[in-house]
């Protein structure tokens, strides 16, 4: 009898253990169901964050960058601070003294500029260069007492002032096809006076449109003509985009 009771008690214990195991399993299942799986959400958030950051990387904006005052280079600010007299002296008066009559510089498209006028502009720009003496020594030929100026050097100089142009060396007086150079007795000597006043000026980022009145004499009483000049400046110089009469 005692043996039967013992077996019965063991059976009850086993049943109780099984019941407790099942109960714990149900509780864990409920807990796991109540806690959302955030692994996918975290992956999605990380992906969205990376996309958002990539659109803010400097230099990768899909929007066009517009010119603004904050983007204007320092050298443009320096030019803006020049007085009217300084603008005329630096960019107008010398040019108008050097390029006169048939060599007058008037154009809307640089490709329209005659080759002889381009050559005269080259001499003018050379005359204002800080390296004039070096060029003089480079080109001077003691055998014929002339300057032999290679066309490649002329073009290299013009490249600093015109974004594009059409130069035909055969149209330049003194051109030697044998040397592909211009032979000339002098590369300087411009002189004279012009009487000018700035009528209007307008800056547009790196461009300057300058309207200039030319007077008959130093009394500045009678205007004889008006010209408009369009410049595009870069850090070490400028391009002439157009010169027209108004």
183 in a structural domain: yes
pLDDT of residue 27: 44
Please count the structural domains in the chain.
1
Rounded CA gap, 94 and 96, in Å?
A: 5
Q: Give the model's confidence band at 192: pLDDT under 50 very low, under 70 low, under 90 confident, else very high.
A: confident
Q: What is the mean pLDDT of residues 161-169?
A: 98
Kindly state whether residue 157 falls inside one of the protein's structural domains.
yes
Residue 58 resides in a domain: no
pLDDT of res. 189: 73
Helix 132-139 with 115-127: angle, nearest 10 deg: 120
* 67 DSSP 8-state letter: P
Q: Rounded to whole angstroms, how far apart are CA atoms 91 and 125?
A: 10
- Reported as a single tens digit per residue, the pLDDT across 96-126 is 999 999 999 999 999 999 999 999 999 999 8
Predicted TM-score (pTM) of the model is 0.69
Lowest mean pLDDT among 48-52, 82-86, 138-142, 212-216: 48-52
Question: For residue 117, what are the domain limits?
Answer: 74-245
In this structure, of 9-23, 42-56, 60-74, 188-202, the range with the lowest mean pLDDT score is 42-56
What's the average model confidence in pLDDT over 27-34?
41
**Residue 42 domain flag:** no
Average confidence (pLDDT) over 88-103: 94
pLDDT in tens, 136-147: 889 999 999 999
More confident residue, 148 or 53: 148
d(CA 159, CA 157) in angstroms, rounded, equals 5
Per DSSP, 111 falls in state G
Tell me how far apart the alpha carbons of residues 108 and 167 are, in angstroms, rounded to a whole number: 16
23 within a domain of the structure (yes/no): no
User: What is the rounded CA–CA span in Å between residue 46 and residue 26?
Assistant: 34
In a domain, 10, yes or no: no
Q: Assess if residue 180 is contained within a domain.
A: yes
Q: What is the pLDDT of residues 209-237, one digit of tens each?
A: 999 999 999 999 999 999 999 999 999 99
- Asked if residue 102 lies in contact with residue 167, where contact means CB atoms within 8 angstroms, the answer is no
pLDDT the model gives residue 70:
54
User: Does 192 fall in a domain?
Assistant: yes
Q: Is the predicted pLDDT of residue 69 greater than 60, yes or no?
A: no
**Percentage of the residues of the chain whose pLDDT score is greater than 90:** 61
């Amino acid at each position: 009898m005692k043996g039967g009771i013992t077996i019965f008690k063991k059976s009850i214990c086993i049943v109780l253990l099984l019941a407790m195991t099942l109960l714990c399993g149900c509780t864990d299942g409920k807990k796991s169901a109540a806690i959302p799986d955030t692994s996918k959400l975290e992956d999605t958030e990380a992906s969205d964050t990376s996309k958002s950051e990539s659109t803010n990387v400097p230099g990768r904006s899909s929007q066009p960058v517009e010119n603004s005052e904050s983007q204007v280079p320092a050298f443009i600010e320096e030019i803006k601070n020049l007085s009217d007299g300084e603008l005329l002296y630096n960019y107008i008066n010398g040019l108008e003294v050097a390029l006169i009559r048939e060599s007058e510089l008037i154009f809307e498209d640089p490709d329209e500029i005659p080759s002889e006028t381009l050559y005269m502009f080259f001499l003018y720009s050379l005359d204002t260069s800080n390296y004039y003496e070096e060029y003089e020594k480079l080109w001077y030929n003691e055998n014929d007492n002339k300057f032999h100026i290679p066309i490649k050097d002329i073009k290299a100089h013009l490249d600093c002032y015109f974004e594009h142009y059409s130069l035909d060396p055969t149209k330049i007086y003194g051109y030697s096809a044998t040397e592909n150079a211009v032979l000339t007795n002098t590369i300087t000597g411009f002189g004279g006076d012009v009487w000018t006043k700035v009528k209007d000026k307008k800056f547009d980022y790196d461009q300057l449109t300058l309207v200039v009145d030319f007077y008959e004499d130093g009394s500045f009483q009678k205007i004889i003509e008006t010209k408009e000049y369009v410049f595009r400046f870069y850090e070490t110089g400028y391009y002439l985009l157009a010169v027209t009469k108004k």
